[in-house]
Structure formats: C-alpha cells, structure tokens
C-alpha cells in the first residue's frame, strides 16, 4: 500500500519546483524589461551617471557630449599651463604656435574626444548580463571614465627647461684635457641651479587627465656637479695609464682607421657605471663627431631605399631598386671601445653596424597589378611663402613612386623619413614657451592633407588621422585636412586591396596632386560635403616680449581667424560582399589668435620676468 507521506512529498517537491520556475521566469522577464528599458531610454544618449574626466555627460547625445568636452578642452588650450618660479613665470600652451603659418603649428597635448566617448559607448553597447548590472550601478552611483590623450611628455619637459635656462646659473661638471706638452689639466666644477622640473611635469599630467589649466609652482634647487676636481685627481693614475697606450685602431670589414693618441685622449671623460662608481670612458658625442668629420660614417653608412617605380605611357617601369641600408651602431661600438680601454694590449675595435632592410623589395613589375588610377587627392597652396613651397616640393618628390604592399599600413611620417636640412628642408619659426625656435618641415601638412584626400578617394581604411589645431585657408573646405609632425601625430591608412598601390605625385602651378595607382576591386567610395558649425571668434592678440628682435620691432603670426567644428561622412561600398564602411570624421579648430613678438631691452624683459602676471593681451 502506497504511503500518504510519499504522495505529500512528491506534491511538495512539485510545488516548490513550480515556485522556483516562476521566480526564475519573473527574474528573466525583469532583466529583459530592465535591459530593454535602459536601451530604449538611452538609445540616442549616454546613460545617467556617466562622466568623462569628471564632466557629466549623462543624458546627452553624442554630439552634445562632444561639444561639452570640447568646450572644456578649448578652455585649457586658451589658458595653458603656467609655471611659476621665484625668477619668472612661463606659460606653455598645449598647441605650439608657428609664426609663419597656422598649419605649421602642432599639439604637444591632444585630447581624443572620439576615443574617450568610444570607450563609454563600448560599455553602453555591451548586452551581457554582467554589463546590465554594471549599468544599473552606474545609474545609481555614477561612473567616471578617463579622458584619453596623447602627450609628448619629453618635448613638454624640454620646452619647460629651455624657458628657464636664461635665468638659472648652469651647473658645470669638472673636466680634464691634455695640453700640447701631454700634461693633464683640470677645469674645476661649478655649482649651479635647477628647478623641480620632474615634479612640475608630474603635476602637469594630473592637470591633463583632469582637463584643467592651472598654475604650477617650481622650486629652485641647488645643482651640485657629480664630477669634481677631487674625483679627477683621484683617478689621475688610471687616466694616465690609459693615455700612455698609443694610437687607437678602428676597423670595419677590410677597412681600418688609425686614430692618433693626441686625438683620442681628449675624448676621455669620467663616466658613471651601473654600480655608481666612476671610470675613464670615451665621450659619445666626441666619438660621433670624429667619425663624421674624417669620413668614416660616409664610408660605412648608406640609407635604406624602398623599391620605387615610375610610369611611362601608362605602364610601370622600374625606377629605383630596393636597397638595404646600414648605419653605425654608436652605442654598441662605444661599449666595445670602453671595454677595450680597460684591457691591456693593442687598442683595436671593430665598429658595430646595423643593417636596415627595406619595407618594399624590388618585385617583378608584371606582378604588381598597377594598371589604373584608383583615386586622386588634390589641394591648392596658392599664396604660400617660398620656404613652404620649397618644402612641399621636397616632400612630394620623396613620396613619388613609393609602393605600398597589399595589407601594409602606410605611415606618412615614416615614409617621409628625416625632416632636416640635410634632406633639403627649410625652417620656419615656432613659439615654445617664451622662446622662438626655428624648426624644419613647415608645409608638410599640405602633403598630409593631400594624401588623406587621395586615400578617401580610393576608399581605403583610414587608421590614424588628426585635423590641424587651427583652420587653414590652404585646406578648405574645413574638415578635409590631416596634420603630421614627427613623431606624432601621424597619418596612416591600410592598403586593404589585394594588389600593390603606387603613389605618384605631380604639381601643376600651385596645385598638388597625389594619384594612387593599382587594380580596382570595384569598391565605391563617397564623402558628404563637410558641415561647418560652432563658429567662434578669435581671442585678443597675445604679445610676447623678447630681446631676439630690435627694440620696438614687432613680428606677428598670420592674421587671426575664427575657430569652428566640421564633420563629414565617409562611406565605402565593397563589391566582394564585405559590410559597407560608414564613418564620420570630426574636426575641431581652435580660434587662431594673433601672436606678436615685441623687441624690448634686457632690463624691460627682466622686469617682465620678475612679475608673476600672465602674458599680456591686447585688443586685435
């Protein structure tokens, strides 16, 4: 006979199973409803509680959030970072201004709004269960996302140090040399002054991440030399024993060079070791200079050469074969020389040489697939000064005939190579802190802009692009430009075709053309005409007093012009079934403030430096 207790137990289990299943279904429904509610409520805006760098963007659309962050960035760009010492105050702006033309200006601090908002969108678009609970937590308690930025910390620090060098007494390390009678002579050390630069740069990073401008205090620190007269005297026997060993011999393959004793002995210095002791070493700069002056570098070193081609009657013919480059590894060579100094025997060292392989090797021209123009970029540089026109020609010639492999990411900065006088470029003046410095390469942004337009026309994958800090007349319509500066920002795209792309350049009057040749895969690229909005008037002119000009002389940047925002849509439809690429390119231009250098006396400049007032402004 069946037990009544067994029946009740079965009924009880079934009852609780039903309850649990009901609760589970209710929870699932609640989760789905909550998720759907959040997704619906914030389909076109950021969820409540979200902030970037402490700036609340909850409930704002992408464009509204972008404008709000940009407004704060503009404020920081306008105010800069003020560094105050007992000697003077210097303001360093996130954008380095050029005296010649606004497109030669560049940023040392760049806040990437789209990437910053992109990380929030990635969080918001995550549909996982864990993400739902995170979103509920954000709505309830808030969440601050970091602002993403690029910062040339090294250059920022160098500008800071250069701005104060004229008011500090320099530390001088003790040195030694040998006179004509081979006697050791010592130049005594001198104590100097420095400022708390590292602490100041660390404080700057905090302001950058907080999207804040502000004043940073610099403390004066006594700078004591490490190499002293007493230290050199304690090492005198070691120094003399090394210099008594005769001539030095440097070799490379079948070549050898004899360096007389009276030459190399004056390259010696006391250098610090890893264990903080000192020993006699060769000075790197003096060695490097000697290798250049007597032609050793010219004998050994040769530049790397990618394969480059030219077009004749619509066909590709070989122009320059690829060639591996080589350069002296000065660090390895110096280490070998310093090791040899410490070992008895003949002073002989073989130079270390680095081999640099080309990115694009010479190929059979029939396999390149260069049969037609895929796209063309065009820009106009009418009204450019002579130096700018010269640099545009040099840059265009450098890229003419360059090949880009299938699948290769093209870097414009890397492809242009060294930007200096040795490679044919001319200089323009830029303002760094309170100094006016000549720099090479003004006008190369004309190259960047034209390559950007050629890549858009070809329908390529743009992987890195940044607009200029200021709106530039050469690059209208606004929003279709690309700025470059070594080492960054760069302009990059990927050759996502299955054949090589050949870059051909041409200049007709004041018009620059970049033609991209290859094999069409029938993709169709299109761009909308840029929308210009948020037009802002420029601030008053900024006056920088200097002794580098004659007293009363005034030298200004090009005329002031408005700031603005711009955007356009880029669409690429592929014939091979790939998903259509849709992308919006945003650009923000700071109002271009006229900056003028004014020549003053040393006394007037000293009085200016002694005050703690910010740089003087005047009405435009």
**For 102-116, what is each residue's pLDDT tens digit?**
788 899 999 999 999
Per-residue confidence (pLDDT) for residue 290, from 0 to 100: 95
Q: How far is CA 515 from CA 82, 87, 218, 457, 505, in A?
A: 46, 55, 52, 10, 6
**For 5-14, what is each residue's pLDDT tens digit?**
566 666 666 7
Task: Judge whether residue 201 has pLDDT over 90.
Answer: yes
CB distance 59 to 68 below 8 Å: no
Q: Reduced to 3 DSSP states, what percent helix, strand and coil does the chain have, rounded to the nearest 5?
A: 35, 30, 35
Q: Cα 322 from chain centroid?
A: 28
Task: Judge whether residue 278 has pLDDT over 80.
Answer: yes
Sign of the C-alpha dihedral, residues 287, 288, 291, 293? Answer: negative
β-pair partners for 63: none
Longest dimension (CA), the chain: 126
**For 46-66, what is each residue's pLDDT tens digit?**
999 999 999 999 999 999 999
CA distance 574 to 46: 32
Per-residue confidence (pLDDT) for residue 305, from 0 to 100: 79
Which residues are CB-contacts of 317 (< 8 A; sequence separation ≥ 6)?
Answer: 309, 310, 311, 365
Helix (H) or strand (E) run with residue 300 in it: helix 296-300
Per-residue confidence (pLDDT) for residue 81, from 0 to 100: 97
Record the pTM: 0.81
Q: How far is CA 237 from CA 48, 212, 227, 232, 234, in A?
A: 74, 57, 16, 10, 8
CA distance 330 to 59: 57
Per-residue confidence (pLDDT) for residue 111, from 0 to 100: 97
Task: Judge whether residue 409 has pLDDT over 90.
Answer: yes
Structure token digits, residue 45: 């805006």
Rounded average pLDDT over 580-596 = 91
Tell which residue, 211, 61, 206, has the closest CA to residue 124: 61
What own/partner pairs with CB < 8 Å and gap ≥ 24 does 149-153 have? 149/109, 149/110, 149/111, 149/112, 149/208, 149/209, 150/107, 150/109, 150/110, 150/112, 150/488, 150/489, 151/108, 151/109, 151/110, 151/205, 151/208, 152/108, 152/109, 152/488, 153/201, 153/205
Query: With bands split at pLDDT 50, 70 and 90, how would you rate the model's confidence at 431?
Result: confident
Per-residue confidence (pLDDT) for residue 453, from 0 to 100: 98
Task: Judge whether residue 292 has pLDDT over 50.
Answer: yes
Query: With bands split at pLDDT 50, 70 and 90, how would you rate the model's confidence at 17?
Result: confident
Tell which residue, 207, 178, 259, has the closest CA to residue 93: 207
Task: Judge whether residue 619 has pLDDT over 50.
Answer: no
CA distance 91 to 557: 18
Cα angle for residues 39, 41, 42 (degrees, 5° grid): 65
**For 511-552, what is each residue's pLDDT tens digit?**
999 999 999 999 999 999 999 999 999 888 888 888 888 999
């Amino acid at each position: 006979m069946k037990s009544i207790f067994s029946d009740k137990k079965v009924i009880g289990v079934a009852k609780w199973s039903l309850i649990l299943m009901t609760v589970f279904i209710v929870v699932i429904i609640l989760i789905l409803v909550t998720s759907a509610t959040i997704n619906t409520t914030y389909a076109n805006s950021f969820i409540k509680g979200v902030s970037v760098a402490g700036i609340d963007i909850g409930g704002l659309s992408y464009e509204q959030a972008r404008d709000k962050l940009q407004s704060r960035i503009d404020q920081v760009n306008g105010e800069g970072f003020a560094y105050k010492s007992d000697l003077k105050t210097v303001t360093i702006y996130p954008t380095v201004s050029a005296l010649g033309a606004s497109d030669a200006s560049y940023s040392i601090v760049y806040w990437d709004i789209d990437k910053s908002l992109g990380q929030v969108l990635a969080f918001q678009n995550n549909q996982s269960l864990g993400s739902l609970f995170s979103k509920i937590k954000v709505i309830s308690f808030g969440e601050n996302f970091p602002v993403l930025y690029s910062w040339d910390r090294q250059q920022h620090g160098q500008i800071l140090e250069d701005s104060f060098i004229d008011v500090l007494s320099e530390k001088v390390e003790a040195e030694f040399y040998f006179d004509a009678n081979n006697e050791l002579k010592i130049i005594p050390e001198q104590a100097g002054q420095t400022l708390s630069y590292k602490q100041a740069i660390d404080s700057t990073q905090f302001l950058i991440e907080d999207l804040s401008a502000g004043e940073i205090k610099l403390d004066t620190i006594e700078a004591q030399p490490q190499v002293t007269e007493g230290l050199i005297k304690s090492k005198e026997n070691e120094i003399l024993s090394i210099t008594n060993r005769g001539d030095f011999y440097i070799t490379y393959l079948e070549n050898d060079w004899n360096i007389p004793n009276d030459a190399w002995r004056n390259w010696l210095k006391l250098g610090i070791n890893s264990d903080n002791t000192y020993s006699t070493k060769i000075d790197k700069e003096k060695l490097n200079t000697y290798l250049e002056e007597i032609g050793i570098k010219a004998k050994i070193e040769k530049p790397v050469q990618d394969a480059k081609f030219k077009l004749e009657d619509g066909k590709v013919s070989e122009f320059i074969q690829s060639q591996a480059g080589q350069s002296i590894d000065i660090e390895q060579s110096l280490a070998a020389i310093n090791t040899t100094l410490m070992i008895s025997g003949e002073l002989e060292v073989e130079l270390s040489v680095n081999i640099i392989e080309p990115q694009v090797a010479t190929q059979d021209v029939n396999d390149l697939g260069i049969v037609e123009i895929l796209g063309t970029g065009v820009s106009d540089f009418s009204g450019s000064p002579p130096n700018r026109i010269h640099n545009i020609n040099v840059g265009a010639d450098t890229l003419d005939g360059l090949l880009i492999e299938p699948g290769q990411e093209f870097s414009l900065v890397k492809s242009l190579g060294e930007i200096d006088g040795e490679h044919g470029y001319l200089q323009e003046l830029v303002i760094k802190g309170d100094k006016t410095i000549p720099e090479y390469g003004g006008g190369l942004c004309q190259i960047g802009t034209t390559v950007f337009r050629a890549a858009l026309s070809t329908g390529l994958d743009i992987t890195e692009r940044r607009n200029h800090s200021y709106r530039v007349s050469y690059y209208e319509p606004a929003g279709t430009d690309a700025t470059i500066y070594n080492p960054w920002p760069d302009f990059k795209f990927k050759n996502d075709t299955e054949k090589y792309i050949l870059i051909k350049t041409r200049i007709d009057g004041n018009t620059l053309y970049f033609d991209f040749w290859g094999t069409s895969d029938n993709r169709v690229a299109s761009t909308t005409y840029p929308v210009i909005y948020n037009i802002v008037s420029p601030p008053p002119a900024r006056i920088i007093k200097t002794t580098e000009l004659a007293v009363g002389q005034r030298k200004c940047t090009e005329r002031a012009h408005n700031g603005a925002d711009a955007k356009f849509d880029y669409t690429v439809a592929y014939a091979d079934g790939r998903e259509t690429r849709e992308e919006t390119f945003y650009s923000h231009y700071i109002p271009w403030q006229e900056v003028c250098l004014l020549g003053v006396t040393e006394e007037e400049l000293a009085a200016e430096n002694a005050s703690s007032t910010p740089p003087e402004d005047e009405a435009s």
